[in-house]
Amino acid sequence: MKDENDKPVKAVTIWRQNEKWFVTPGTVKVGQGEDVIFTTQGTQASILIPKGRLFETPAAGTGTVSGDVIILAVARDGQTKVTAKKGSGAKPLVAKPWIKCRYAVYCHQDEDFAEGSSSPIMLIEPPS
């Protein structure tokens, strides 16, 4: 998926089925500089990303940063995004493993957390 400027974008949807909230996909691979767009269906949500240092500071009014934690606020049936930081641009001599970044999605509609195929995970491309 790409945005209007042909920049790669990863989409994550927060939705409900049979009284449970889900995050699809459960695992998403995010390259350096790519946006992750979170879309809610039927709930307001708070997204907690503990490894905030891997991402750019959210745009004003879309989230907060506390230490190394980013908290994003998403309106009911709304969207927000976070952007993975870019590295130095130098290519590493040895391939590094992707960085596992677990995050949580709290759905205000039912005061419950969404589930993925496991705990929701973003795999972040390591800095060059």
Per-residue pLDDT of the chain (128 residues; tens, 9 = 90+): 666 677 778 999 999 999 999 999 989 999 888 999 999 999 999 999 999 999 998 888 888 998 889 999 999 999 999 999 887 555 555 557 888 899 999 999 999 999 887 677 888 888 76
Asked if residues 22 and 16 have their Cβ atoms less than 8 Å apart, the reply is: yes
For residue 103, what are its two tokens?
């995050």
User: Reading across the β-sheet that carries 35-40, which strands appear in turn?
Assistant: 20-24, 9-17, 35-40, 79-83
Pairing of strands 121-124, 27-30: parallel
Residue type at 98 in one-letter notation: W
Tell me: cis bond preceding 25? Omega within 30 of 0 counts: yes
Architecture (CATH level 2) of domain 9-124: Sandwich (2.60)
